[in-house]
Chain A
Amino acid sequence: MPVITYSEALRQALREAMTNDPRVFIIGEDVVHYDSAYGVTKGFEKEFGPERIKDMPIAEAGYAGLGIGAAMNGLRPIVEMMTTNFAILALDMIINHAAKLHYMFGGQFTCPIVFRMPNGYGQLSATHSQAFDNYYAYMPGLKVVVPGTPYDAKGLMKAAIEDPDPVIFIEHTGIYNIKGEVPEESYTVPIGKSNLLRDGKDVTIVGYGRMIPYCQQAVETLASEGIDAALVDLRTIRPLDMEPVLESFRKTNRAVIATEEWTSVGVGSEIAARLYTEGFDHLDAPIWRVGFDEVPMPYAKNLEAHVVPNADSVIQAVKNVLAGKTQKIRQQ
């Protein structure tokens, strides 16, 4: 099977959809003349023509609304937001409109749209290094997909474009270049299905998106030290498929939740709550959560590295859980 990058996997899915369905079109900032901020749709204008992929003005609500209106009227827009930081300017469009249309008009309208947006950081300071996964995952009416492997990136993108409802597709600048096996042929990965990536008997690590490569590293290191960790990739954070997580947790009785977000009131908080409520009888030790330290993101290299999670943070959390320690979340 070919080994390709996460970015190339997305590109394959997008190209396939663009080729097969003329209703699919891409809009976003700097997707044409700049050749797309992270290169995912590089060269698409040559391939598909200027009407199928269009540079948008820096008006996030504006082109989100353009996409939603077009989706309501039967097209299949893919809206690329340069990063999740800027996408929050379109929250009204996404939350008050895309997520609500179908319901509040009694099912008369649908909104088949995909919003692509990357999280990420890299000495970009406070406004350019955030994660808002929980904002979208909070909202009935949205589906929120966060692939952590190239295989899932392609299959979930195909599923997102084919889905008849609004899908928030969260990528990550830190993993566009990771590699993995990706079939050349067309396939979809179903939205709303978690995936057990590794079975284990000592502890269940739950994560998604950018944390998956870190978790995979952590699991290997832990194995070399004799700790047998299971790893579940949520892949989708709304709808949330807890069954594979609970199934593993019933065997391990211990859990670490690894999400790249501020820990309090995050997606990880929900997973912890579900483990406590649905898995209470199986709980042998306090759950630990791994995330950003709760500070605005600093610029200096050492400070930034200090407050973001990585494979080591996951390893440390696993050891703390196995030692039965209690986590104190620090907010100041």
Chain B
Amino acid sequence: MEKQDLLADYRTMVLIRSFEEHCQQQYTRARIGGFLHLYVGQEAVAVGAIGALKAQDHLVTHYRDHGHALARGLEPKPLMAELFGRSTGTGKGKGGSMHFADKNKNFWGGYAIVGAHLLLAMGIAYSIKYKREVLGQADQDGVVMCFFGDGATNGGEFYEAVSMAALYKLPIVFLCENNEFAMGTPLSVHTSVTEIHKKASPFMPGERVNGNDVEEMRARALYAVNHARTEGPYFLEAMTYRLRGHSAADPQMYRTRDDINARRSGDPIALLKQKLIDQNLLTEKQAKQIDKEVEKEMDVVVQFAEESPAPDLSEAWTEIYSKPL
């Protein structure tokens, strides 16, 4: 197993944060429309967990998908272009913020019906096993990692997914990002089982991990992925906190500024930075330099989106079917 490069992880987390801040700005300027769910505060979950995946592994996620896409190595330019509704976007401007995808990176997309994509992820895992066992494709040893929120664990589709994944012993990691809210509804108001991983415990092993610590996140994700590859499904509950609103337009009536400030001590980027400085792997000066470089990269990314053409109107009528009628 390759050793975790904490400095590289730090840079990716800063990149995600900066991407999101730029999204917020562009949303305020009305260059980005629709719902915009930012990942600020949760960066260590995506970077830690997705870093445990290999190229042949698969990723399925929900609408809060920017961090997962960037952590998987999708280029920021076509992502920003997608947000701008441009033809150079990952979905040619047809999907927007909630539906990033890149087939070539086995990034099977962000889905916007809460809880539903767990079933698609389960189906992809089923197909991997089928390809290996029925079609004799020995190289099919991929694992599916499926991200979702705490709010997604109350509906029936969640239970169907964990139950069937266990029944067929599928290579899948269910990764719940418990950020303590489902939109504005606090965890304890939406579920009686607030230790989310216990909801899946009749079906598969699982655990709660500190999702704000990228090192712990990586270590436990490696364990989970290995378990999924060799034995069957595994459940990770990553504890984290969303430092921005549910979406960019959220007035956040359900918590105060003080509530949020009290949680800034858990900011995964600040935590990692301090750790790297303590270990003499980073200086304040170098950190500033990284910020500057990322900032510069983002300016280019926004410019790319801005200068990209809007989709031709004929695009509205393409790709409804893969074989046109």
A residues with a Cβ closer than 8 A to B are 22-23, 25, 51-52, 57, 59, 61-75, 92-93, 96-97, 101-110, 140-141, 143, 163-165, 192, 239
Contacts and interface: CB of A to CB of B under 8 A. Distances in A.
A164 B128 CA distance: 20
Contacts of A110: 322
B116 A97 contact: yes
A70 B108 contact: no
B130 A106 contact: no
Interface stretch (B9-17, B45-53, B86-94): B86-94
B305 interface: no
Interface stretch (B28-36, B160-168, B226-234, B278-286): B160-168
B120 A62 contact: no
Contact of B92 (A62, A92, A93, A107): A107
List of 8 A-B pairs having minimum Cβ-Cβ separation, nearest first: A69-B123, A65-B119, A62-B160, A106-B91, A106-B92, A70-B127, A73-B127, A107-B319
A73 to B, nearest CB: 4
B119 A64 contact: yes
A68 B322 CA distance: 15
B318 interface: yes
Contacts of B161: 62, 65
A106 B116 contact: no
A57 to B, nearest CB: 7
A101 B131 CA distance: 22
A59 B160 contact: yes
Interface stretch (B99-107, B208-216, B236-244): B99-107
A232 B71 CA distance: 56
Given A104-B91, A105-B94, 14 more contacts: A23-B135, A25-B130, A59-B164, A62-B119, A62-B160, A62-B163, A65-B157, A68-B120, A72-B127, A73-B124, A75-B127, A107-B92, A108-B102, A109-B109
Nearest to A103: B319
Sorting the interface of chain B by its residue count into under 10, 10 to 19, 20 to 34 or 35 or more gives 35 or more
B163 A69 contact: no
Contact of B320 (A52, A62, A141): A141
Interface of B: 89-95, 99, 101-103, 108-109, 111, 113, 116-128, 130-131, 133-135, 156-157, 160-161, 163-164, 167, 318-323, 325
A159 to B, nearest CB: 11
A129 B164 CA distance: 29
A69 B120 contact: yes
A70 B130 contact: yes
Contact of B130 (A51, A102, A140, A143): A51
A165 B130 contact: no
A141 B94 contact: no
Contacts of B122: 62, 65-66, 69
Contacts of B92: 106-107
B120 A52 contact: no
B100 to A, nearest CB: 9
- Of the listed residues A25, A74, A75, A143, the one surrounded by the most CB atoms of chain B closer than 10 A to its CB is A75
A103 B92 CA distance: 10
A267 B300 CA distance: 51
Nearest to A191: B325
B134 A165 contact: no
Nearest to A99: B320
A109 B160 contact: no
A106 B319 contact: yes
Contacts of A109: 101, 103, 108-109
A68 B319 contact: no
A141 B321 contact: yes
Given A66-B126, A106-B92, A72 B120 contact: yes
A164 B103 CA distance: 17
Nearest to A49: B134
B156 A61 contact: yes
A227 to B, nearest CB: 35
23 contacts: A57-B163, A59-B160, A61-B119, A62-B122, A62-B157, A65-B122, A67-B123, A68-B120, A69-B120, A70-B124, A72-B123, A75-B131, A96-B116, A106-B89, A106-B95, A106-B319, A108-B101, A108-B109, A109-B103, A110-B322, A141-B321, A164-B322, A165-B322
B322 A69 contact: no
B124 A105 contact: no
A65 B123 contact: yes
Contacts of B108: 72, 109
B220 to A, nearest CB: 25
B128 A73 contact: yes
A75 B130 CA distance: 9
Given A106-B90, A106-B92, A96 B113 contact: yes
Contact of B160 (A65, A73, A97): A65
Contacts of B123: 65-73
Nearest to A112: B322
B163 A59 contact: yes
Given A73-B127, A97-B120, A164-B322, A51 B133 contact: yes
